[in-house]
Amino acid sequence: MRPIITAFAASPDRGRGLARDSRVRWALEEVGQTYDVRYLSFAELKEPAHRALQPFGQIPTYEAGDIRLFETGAIILHIAETHGGLLPQEAAGRAKAINWMFAALSTIEPPILELESTRFNDRDKPWGAARTVMAEDRIRTRLADLDGALGDAPWIAGAFSAADILMCSVLLRIKGSAMLEEQPRLAAYLARGESRPAYQRAFADQLAVYQRLMAAKG
Ligand code: GTB
């Protein structure tokens, strides 16, 4: 069954692949699953029709038959469980990859979100600079530990897996920052993820939405 996902009609990231539908697109491209996209305005996100699918009024969502999901991690786990190639078959390897999927979302991404929130909300506050330094320190600590766990391996949990889709997608948020460049193995890991043809297709598809929007505006 061809799934339908949702995405921003006008993504605030201007096609940089940071909105979370990109993660889902990447997973679908990796497994060769074609899909449709329903594009939503900010107003439509908060309307009852969308909230029936996504209680928090956000993108992305995923619908395929009677499967209806609204958390990116759960969507990618579902894609990986229903298609080959994104999780190992054997139990220990599979559990390890799923563990790293959660680590990406629960351990690595939160301090990055905290930094983004501080930059956005607290920049002009008296505590803004100190909070920024604290958030950057937290990220540096997490990245050093992640670098230790990755070591010289190409991927975080054995063969390329759904864990790498999530981990690279999280690292994309700090791409080009000193924090990431200080960890050359992690920067190379992200570049490896970005160079995958499935990632390139997913990136191009979400960028095309922004380009069409700009062209329509003239
Ligand atoms: N827990 C949910 C999940 O992981 O699926 C969180 C989903 C989420 O944060 N969705 C965001 C959203 O719909 C878009 S992706 N926000 C609208 C709202 O809450 O009203 C997060 C995002 C947005 C924008 C950028 N950007 O501009 O760079 C990057 C990431």
Residue 218: per-residue pLDDT: 86
Task: Tell me the CA–centroid distance for residue 59 and ligand 1, in Å.
Answer: 6
Task: Tell me the CA–centroid distance for residue 60 and ligand 1, in Å.
Answer: 8
Q: Spelled out in words, what is the top-level CATH class assigned to the domain 4-85+198-217?
A: alpha beta
Task: Tell me the CA–centroid distance for residue 13 and ligand 1, in Å.
Answer: 10
Instruction: Choose which residue among 20, 23, 39 to substitute to test ligand 1 binding: the one with the highest number of ligand atoms within 8 A of its C-beta.
Output: 20
Q: Which residue has the tokens 């930094």?
A: 115
Residue 1: per-residue pLDDT: 87
Task: Tell me the CA–centroid distance for residue 110 and ligand 1, in Å.
Answer: 13
Q: What is the DSSP secondary structure assignment for residue 153, as one 8-state letter?
A: -
- Which of 137, 211, 214, 151 lies closest to 186, judged by CA? 151
Kindly list the protein residues whose Cβ atom lies closer than 6 A to any atom of ligand 1.
12-13, 18-20, 45, 57-59, 71-72
Sorted by where each begins, the domain ranges of the chain are 4-85+198-217, 91-196
Strands 67-69 and 62-64, bridge-based pairing: antiparallel
In ligand 1, the atom with minimum distance to the C-alpha of 45 is 20
Residue 123: per-residue pLDDT: 87
Task: Tell me the CA–centroid distance for residue 58 and ligand 1, in Å.
Answer: 6
Q: What is the CATH number of domain 91-196?
A: 1.20.1050.10
Query: 12-40: string of b/e by CB count within 10 Å (b at 16+)?
Result: eeebbbbbbbbbbbbbbbbeeeebebbeb
Q: What is the DSSP secondary structure assignment for residue 104, as one 8-state letter?
A: I
In ligand 1, the atom with minimum distance to the C-alpha of 20 is 15
pLDDT along the chain (218 residues), means of 10: 97 97 98 98 98 98 98 98 98 98 98 95 90 96 98 98 99 98 98 98 98 94
Lookup: tokens for 197: 């043809």
Residue 162: per-residue pLDDT: 99
